[in-house]
Chain A
């Protein structure tokens, strides 16, 4: 049986990058068998341009097909594979092995704070629930009369550019210590998506969203710990977005 199943990545020029052995320690949990999650080690032969996702694929495709994790796009745009890698929330497909210290084992586990389903898969529903609760859609009562687009200047557009990048991967919310305490806090991702509309010059529903977030579980629970900003794979300034929403609520307008 062929051993080298994982697709080699990187152009051939980069294959000159040495291969190396790395130990991955994955927190496995099979709800049909296990009472408690358990850590399992895998020694893998990997290449210089491989990502953590490649390593997980290698385990799944060559060693144990039952390893369960989500993934789709494999280049950091779909938000499927957020997980805790060496204690930090990251996308497996965007984390190059060579950027981690491969002389040490690499610990991989599911996101914290969301119900664990199997291996690296958590239940995303609570996360999407709070996203949906902030009414994340444009609210505008009238359409432009000429049947054309609404006008918006590049400056107005730039005002909320940062928060349009969100891919709803949950890396931020599940790294927030306030969310960990009881999961009732709306969480940074929901606030980011509210921000995206509160500061959109075309939107008329800002007040509604600000009222929703001006709540016991809303923006005021944020303790500015910056874990979310550090975790966001899209480089969104999450804490800043939250601060801007707080200020908008205090002012009573965006």
Chain B
């Protein structure tokens, strides 16, 4: 590992005006962090600890959850907060380690793209989800599809 940097403190560019993303990013990490504690641990608790835990996970279980508006909102919040939190964290890390501007731009672009795509995809799934798709084997579906 090299122990010194060739030219620390290269000439800095003057900060452009407008919103200070660094500050809001920093605040966002903390606010979303607190919210995520509740959301993620709630999620993990319900999915892995209640009943038979991971063994109980299947389409029927998810379908049951996602047809409940409470869990819909829960999962959407979790999806957005976590992805943006994670993406912003990844951006910070990229800033720290990518010395080459181009590499930095590419990596951050990739993070941004992945995040946007997944947020859209995830949101669509949560809201356009049909828990009782026609033609599916009934034993895989939540009980309310077939039952009363």
Contacts and interface: CB of A to CB of B under 8 A. Distances in A.
Given a CB threshold of 8 Å, the question of whether A touches B is answered with yes
A113 B5 contact: yes
A29 to B, nearest CB: 10
B64 interface: no
A220 B91 CA distance: 13
Instruction: Tell me whether chain B's interface is mostly helix, strand or loop, or mixed.
Output: loop
A216 interface: yes
Most chain-A CB neighbours within 10 Å: which of B6, B22, B27?
B22
B131 interface: no
Nearest to B21: A216
B68 interface: no
Contacts of B9: 126, 129-130, 183-184
Contact of A182 (B8, B20, B22): B8
Contacts, number: 63
Contacts of B25: 220
B4 A182 contact: no
B5 A183 contact: yes
Nearest to A27: B3
A171 interface: no
Interface residues of A, number: 29
Nearest to B99: A182
B97 A114 contact: no
Contacts of A221: 22, 95
Nearest to A125: B9
A233 interface: no
Nearest to B27: A250
A113 B22 contact: no
B72 to A, nearest CB: 33
Contact of A215 (B4, B8, B15, B27): B15
Contact of B23 (A37, A115, A182, A249): A249
A168 interface: no
Contact of B22 (A109, A130, A215): A215
Interface string A115-143: 11000001000100110000000000000
B55 interface: no
Interface string A190-221: 00000000000000000000000011111011
A155 B51 CA distance: 59
Contact of B4 (A122, A181, A214, A218): A122
Interface in B100-128: none
A28 interface: no
A178 interface: yes
B3 A184 contact: no
B3 A112 contact: yes
A184 B12 CA distance: 8
A250 B24 CA distance: 9
Interface in B1-21: 3-10, 12, 15, 20
Contact of B96 (A109, A130, A181, A249): A181
Nearest to B97: A181
Nearest to A122: B4
Contacts of B15: 215-216
**Which 3 residue pairs spanning A and B have beta carbons closest together?**
A183-B8, A126-B8, A220-B22
Interface of A: 37, 109-110, 112-116, 122, 126, 129-130, 178-184, 214-218, 220-221, 246, 249-250
26 contacts: A113-B4, A113-B8, A114-B4, A114-B5, A115-B6, A115-B7, A115-B8, A126-B7, A178-B96, A181-B96, A182-B8, A183-B5, A183-B9, A184-B9, A184-B10, A184-B12, A214-B22, A215-B15, A216-B15, A216-B95, A220-B23, A221-B22, A221-B95, A246-B26, A250-B23, A250-B27
